[in-house]
A and B are shown apart, each in its own frame.
Chain A
């Protein structure tokens, strides 16, 4: 026995075991999820998914349908102005046009005013690139190194602030809304701040620091197509001028598609408009500056309310309904096949 005892460890020393470890990992015995697809689980999952999607879809469609929306294409109605704008030498001539419309019913709730553009390729690669985020953060950067070309500097070397094709092509129509109440004309009060994303307004855009804005932008010039320099975008509210102007910020958030709408104003809910827009006749006063006819674009102005699911786009709801219907139908088909096969089986068993 003693002999054996002394022998065993020796052997262990002489030949270190080459036997593999018996661990779950090395023997490929790790615990795993092994789903068993039975008719019950398959059918129930199909039906559950189907019912879920259907109900979500129906809710979405209903809520999207409850959105009130008025969309007016004014690119043709202001054809005189658009002709004037086709010639770029008239850039400093003002041109106004008026668009009337009638609301047959009240629009209740918050009312938002959008401008819509069609056929304007904000998602073009060269367009999307053409900005200097550092400049928009108020940093003193050499924009020559950015992708702003050709909207970087004037011929005399004065840099543009802000630079780039996006800023340069900023939508600069002014749209005012008037309510015609018993032959008196009331201007609908509109809010021009608070329309942009909080992060854009407070994080991504900053004015250069100086004792006042005009000195902060000293040494720079307005973009080529602009009528006034950036620090005069809003002369009344200094927290809404320069790079942090809401209209500018919204424009700078480029759209994903060539047809898009951007939030322009919100109706301030006071006096007549405390519940929204009452039914009646309205007029848009448009100061027409933004030419679109050259690239066959179109301009709209849109009044809309929102619900919890956003605007009036029913697509998501429809997509849910289609998916839900497909899942439910598949469930029924599988049930039918199953029942048929089961009958057959029992027949054979007999």
Chain B
């Protein structure tokens, strides 16, 4: 249930939560009880709590809540800051009390989960239509033959009555025709492939097992094989056109690694060997040895020893750089001692290890950081290993071990991070009494706020930053500023007043922050690698070659998402332009989309005048102008804009723009928006969509898409449970689609074509025979043959083909992703193919009937005995039919 936080074990009613299940972010978040209720820690006090909450109706907005608490004749405004939503997990908090606001289906989590729908493949639907058509065809044949029968009985049968009187009750040729209609419906019903459905299921089951058994989709590290959790969607895997991917945990491992830094114009962190950081582990030089530092985190690895040397030599810039990293953050430290909360954490740990997470098993005495964002954790850990160990914090102090010496800084103020400021600062007083502001933040913001004397250094650092960004690293710029005692007193006073101001508090605070964070001195920049999963760029490249469009839908912030886009090669510097849509109103969004499209049109037009003129001519038949776009574009859109873009009147516009782009990244999207985007593409594009994700926030998307793939990773198993296929690495997706999906599609198509062919070739012979036996519904074959034809005579070869057939070896389909395209274009089984099969079946039946007819008419055996009897004819036709049909398998 969604709770209103009343009080918790932590001071000030603070409560730390992880919301991975909700929005996919794995960092910790803080929730705080409103002050009046935070003292209700005692159950007896709690029992007397009789407040009344009036709040908004249940909705699916995860980041908004509005309500009022009426208690003791006072009104207290409630916001999302006071809410504990269903699905979040308490961290670092022993207990808390809350008031249930929404329960069951009203909770925000449930409001966000889409309805589960029964998924069927397009081939299934096509098959149903075709079976209906075939049924219509059957009725037509019945009618033709019935009319024939009526005419025959009227012209011939009447005269023939001396030898063959009509059945009792049949008094007219018309009635006889009517009866013969039903007889023919029964005889020709084999044209409707009833056993088809069973066989299709058997084949799909076989394909699913092949997916489960595939050794190349088995992750040894997590000991999880791929799993096909449904058996009905296999062939659709061969037709995927759009992939909607989550970012965290799907593309990335969600492990941040401090990989490079630039201090005072000197870049550290490049590996000595030129192969770059993606080189195999064996080729790497030895990592830097941190054994001098007893508090170092053994899992931290750095490849450039010169930085450590600089620290040891006492380079003041480097020292200041790491001091900043160890001070300017909101990380909580936890030092393991025996007892206490150990038990609880240990339990937590065990579950973490089971899920294959990288959460370490803590040995007593070890230092462990709990960071709100993994970036911060990585930075603080880096500082720790280079000898600036953040030990503990209290609300007023921060204790740091600087190269072995414990120093306690007085924490004067934290200037918090938010999306608009894109930076955070701390103001500390060192033991010597100097007041200093440390600031870290996004380069775009921070570089403007530097003191002009930094100009030269800024240029060098900017070069470094561009270099880092080009490698897909997440960069931060670090700066500091010394504050005068007097100025600080004054500022602090104003800050206090602003903080207690009744209205426009945020604005006033922001202005004050703005004022102090100015004229700073540049220290350097950090580059953090959000480690991609193995093989992600390669997989994306191959899937792109296979003409599959990949959209990333993430709850993360825009910069992160764009960075990942670059590092997994979805976005490249070669792209003509990356459109960023960040409008907050309908009009802004519409305008931005329109501009994007205009630019694309202009681009293609100017290209069209140039060297690609001929190409343009040849492709001038393309229906939509937007599809003829020259150049590569990408679209980045954030949650607010997406909400507008998904409105009914703009969704087509948005979709057209997005589909013209090579890469689409949607950031800050809610789970429901993910599903809406998928739904939008499903609705207008008639393409097969695949959603892949690992967290509970991806569940609705996974359920909405034609195919849902769950990464059995670190964020629990909700996604896996909702998915149709699951495996543990993103890179397996290429094998699932290009090998298994392609084969499945191919086999299923061949199977269906053949099955329809087989039944038509079999049944139509009766139709032709009808013209020779007085339309009397006499069968050509023996009863046993009719019964056993589908079960015995022709079942196994086609089943074997449906399960085992491989047109090209698996290596080929990975080498030539273009082979995947027939599936996307639905070339192998569609109505046209169906009619070709049917025509072939009818053609076969014609040969199957008329050649034996010609041969048997007036035929005698070589001993003179008659041969043209019904039985011989039936056996001959049946035998040759089985041979002809079986030879054409495949």
A43 interfacial by beta-carbon distance below 8 Å? no
Complex CA–CA separation, A309 to B864 (angstroms)? 10
In the complex, chain A residues whose CB is within 8 Å of the CB of B220: 19
B58 interfacial by beta-carbon distance below 8 Å? no
Nearest-neighbour CB distance to chain A for B343, whole angstroms, equals: 23
A273 interfacial by beta-carbon distance below 8 Å? no
Closest chain B residue to A116, Cβ basis:
B858
In chain B, positions 190-227 with a C-beta closer than 8 Å to chain A are 210, 212-215, 218, 220, 223-225
Q: Contact: B859 with A123, CB < 8 Å? A: no
Complex CA–CA separation, A312 to B163 (angstroms)? 30
Pick the residue among B162, B210, B225, B857 that contacts A294 (CB under 8 A). Answer: B162
Q: Contact: A26 with B873, CB < 8 Å? A: no
When each residue 244-282 of chain A gets 1 if its CB lies under 8 Å from chain B and 0 otherwise, what string results? 000000100111111111110010000000000000000
In the complex, chain A residues whose CB is within 8 Å of the CB of B858: 116, 259-261, 311-313
Q: Contact: A310 with B212, CB < 8 Å? A: no
In the complex, chain B residues whose CB is within 8 Å of the CB of A74: none
Closest 8 CB pairs of A and B: A256-B873, A26-B213, A315-B854, A311-B860, A125-B776, A125-B778, A295-B159, A169-B163
B856 interfacial by beta-carbon distance below 8 Å? yes
Pick the residue among B156, B225, B859 that contacts A313 (CB under 8 A). Answer: B859
A112 interfacial by beta-carbon distance below 8 Å? yes
Nearest-neighbour CB distance to chain B for A167, whole angstroms, equals: 11
Q: Contact: A127 with B218, CB < 8 Å? A: no
Q: Contact: A263 with B159, CB < 8 Å? A: no
In the complex, chain A residues whose CB is within 8 Å of the CB of B159: 294-296
Complex CA–CA separation, A296 to B869 (angstroms)? 22
Q: Contact: A253 with B869, CB < 8 Å? A: yes
Pick the residue among A123, A165, A296 that contacts B773 (CB under 8 A). Answer: A123
Residues of B bordering A, CB below 8 Å: 156, 159-160, 162-165, 167-168, 183, 210, 212-215, 218, 220, 223-225, 772-774, 776-778, 804, 806, 810, 851, 853-874
When each residue 189-210 of chain A gets 1 if its CB lies under 8 Å from chain B and 0 otherwise, what string results? 0000001110000000000000
Complex CA–CA separation, A296 to B870 (angstroms)? 22
In the complex, chain B residues whose CB is within 8 Å of the CB of A350: none
In the complex, chain A residues whose CB is within 8 Å of the CB of B777: 125
A316 interfacial by beta-carbon distance below 8 Å? yes
Complex CA–CA separation, A120 to B773 (angstroms)? 10
In the complex, chain B residues whose CB is within 8 Å of the CB of A36: none
Q: Contact: B162 with A263, CB < 8 Å? A: no
In the complex, chain A residues whose CB is within 8 Å of the CB of B164: 121, 124, 126-127, 130, 165, 169
Residue from A123, A128, A165 having most chain B Cβ neighbours under 10 A: A123
Q: A27-B213, A27-B215, A257-B868 are in contact. Are A310 and B862 (CB under 8 A)?
A: yes
Nearest-neighbour CB distance to chain A for B862, whole angstroms, equals: 5
Q: Contact: A310 with B804, CB < 8 Å? A: no
Complex CA–CA separation, A323 to B772 (angstroms)? 25
In the complex, chain B residues whose CB is within 8 Å of the CB of A259: 857-858
Q: Contact: B866 with A261, CB < 8 Å? A: yes
In the complex, chain A residues whose CB is within 8 Å of the CB of B774: 121, 123-124, 258
Complex CA–CA separation, A28 to B773 (angstroms)? 50
In the complex, chain A residues whose CB is within 8 Å of the CB of B773: 121, 123-125, 258
Closest chain A residue to B780, Cβ basis:
A256
In the complex, chain A residues whose CB is within 8 Å of the CB of B160: 121, 124, 295
Nearest-neighbour CB distance to chain A for B225, whole angstroms, equals: 6
> What are 6 A-B pairs at a CB distance below 8 A?
A26-B213, A168-B163, A255-B869, A266-B864, A291-B162, A295-B162
Q: Contact: B224 with A18, CB < 8 Å? A: yes
Complex CA–CA separation, A88 to B161 (angstroms)? 13
A20 interfacial by beta-carbon distance below 8 Å? yes
Closest chain A residue to B852, Cβ basis:
A256
Complex CA–CA separation, A23 to B399 (angstroms)? 59
When each residue 53-87 of chain A gets 1 if its CB lies under 8 Å from chain B and 0 otherwise, what string results? 00000000000000000000000000000000000
Q: Contact: B214 with A27, CB < 8 Å? A: yes
Closest chain B residue to A23, Cβ basis:
B213
Q: Contact: A256 with B869, CB < 8 Å? A: yes
Nearest-neighbour CB distance to chain A for B378, whole angstroms, equals: 31
Q: Contact: A306 with B859, CB < 8 Å? A: no
Closest chain A residue to B778, Cβ basis:
A125
Q: A306-B862, A319-B851 are in contact. Are A20 and B772 (CB under 8 A)?
A: no
Complex CA–CA separation, A269 to B871 (angstroms)? 31
Residues of A bordering B, CB below 8 Å: 15, 17-22, 26-28, 30, 32, 88, 110, 112, 114, 116, 119-128, 130, 149-150, 165, 168-169, 195-197, 250, 253-263, 266, 291, 294-296, 304, 306-313, 315-316, 319
Complex CA–CA separation, A311 to B168 (angstroms)? 41
Nearest-neighbour CB distance to chain B for A78, whole angstroms, equals: 18
Residue from B163, B773, B863, B866 having most chain A Cβ neighbours under 10 A: B163
Complex CA–CA separation, A8 to B82 (angstroms)? 50
In the complex, chain A residues whose CB is within 8 Å of the CB of B854: 313, 315-316, 319
In the complex, chain A residues whose CB is within 8 Å of the CB of B156: 119, 121, 295-296
Complex CA–CA separation, A307 to B854 (angstroms)? 18
In the complex, chain A residues whose CB is within 8 Å of the CB of B864: 110, 112, 195, 263, 266, 304, 306
Q: Contact: A254 with B869, CB < 8 Å? A: yes
Complex CA–CA separation, A319 to B865 (angstroms)? 23
Complex CA–CA separation, A57 to B778 (angstroms)? 32
In the complex, chain B residues whose CB is within 8 Å of the CB of A308: 862
In the complex, chain A residues whose CB is within 8 Å of the CB of B212: 20
Q: Contact: A257 with B853, CB < 8 Å? A: yes
Pick the residue among A123, A149, A197, A315 that contacts B870 (CB under 8 A). Answer: A123
Nearest-neighbour CB distance to chain A for B218, whole angstroms, equals: 5
Q: Contact: B223 with A15, CB < 8 Å? A: yes
Q: Contact: A256 with B865, CB < 8 Å? A: no
Nearest-neighbour CB distance to chain B for A332, whole angstroms, equals: 23
Pick the residue among B215, B224, B772, B859 that contacts A258 (CB under 8 A). Answer: B772
In the complex, chain B residues whose CB is within 8 Å of the CB of A169: 163-164
Q: Contact: B214 with A254, CB < 8 Å? A: no
Q: Contact: B857 with A257, CB < 8 Å? A: yes
Pick the residue among A250, A304, A313 that contacts B857 (CB under 8 A). Answer: A313
Closest chain B residue to A60, Cβ basis:
B855
Other A-B pairs, 20, CB within 8 Å; known A112-B864, A257-B857, A306-B863: A18-B218, A19-B215, A28-B210, A32-B804, A116-B858, A121-B164, A123-B773, A123-B870, A124-B164, A124-B773, A125-B777, A127-B776, A195-B865, A253-B870, A253-B871, A295-B162, A310-B860, A311-B859, A313-B854, A319-B855
In the complex, chain A residues whose CB is within 8 Å of the CB of B225: 18-20
Complex CA–CA separation, A160 to B126 (angstroms)? 56
Complex CA–CA separation, A168 to B161 (angstroms)? 13
Complex CA–CA separation, A66 to B214 (angstroms)? 65
Nearest-neighbour CB distance to chain A for B693, whole angstroms, equals: 23
Pick the residue among B163, B804, B851, B862 that contacts A28 (CB under 8 A). Answer: B804
Closest chain A residue to B207, Cβ basis:
A28
Complex CA–CA separation, A10 to B225 (angstroms)? 21
Q: Contact: B857 with A315, CB < 8 Å? A: yes
Q: Contact: A310 with B866, CB < 8 Å? A: no
Complex CA–CA separation, A122 to B164 (angstroms)? 10
Complex CA–CA separation, A130 to B861 (angstroms)? 26
Q: Contact: A256 with B856, CB < 8 Å? A: yes
Q: Contact: A255 with B860, CB < 8 Å? A: no
Q: Contact: A306 with B869, CB < 8 Å? A: no
Closest chain A residue to B218, Cβ basis:
A19
Nearest-neighbour CB distance to chain A for B806, whole angstroms, equals: 7
Nearest-neighbour CB distance to chain B for A175, whole angstroms, equals: 16
Q: Contact: B778 with A112, CB < 8 Å? A: no
In the complex, chain A residues whose CB is within 8 Å of the CB of B861: 306, 310
Nearest-neighbour CB distance to chain A for B886, whole angstroms, equals: 15
Closest chain A residue to B853, Cβ basis:
A257
Nearest-neighbour CB distance to chain A for B375, whole angstroms, equals: 34
Complex CA–CA separation, A292 to B190 (angstroms)? 37
In the complex, chain B residues whose CB is within 8 Å of the CB of A26: 210, 213-215
Closest chain B residue to A197, Cβ basis:
B865
In the complex, chain B residues whose CB is within 8 Å of the CB of A260: 858, 866, 868
Complex CA–CA separation, A306 to B215 (angstroms)? 66
Nearest-neighbour CB distance to chain B for A11, whole angstroms, equals: 11
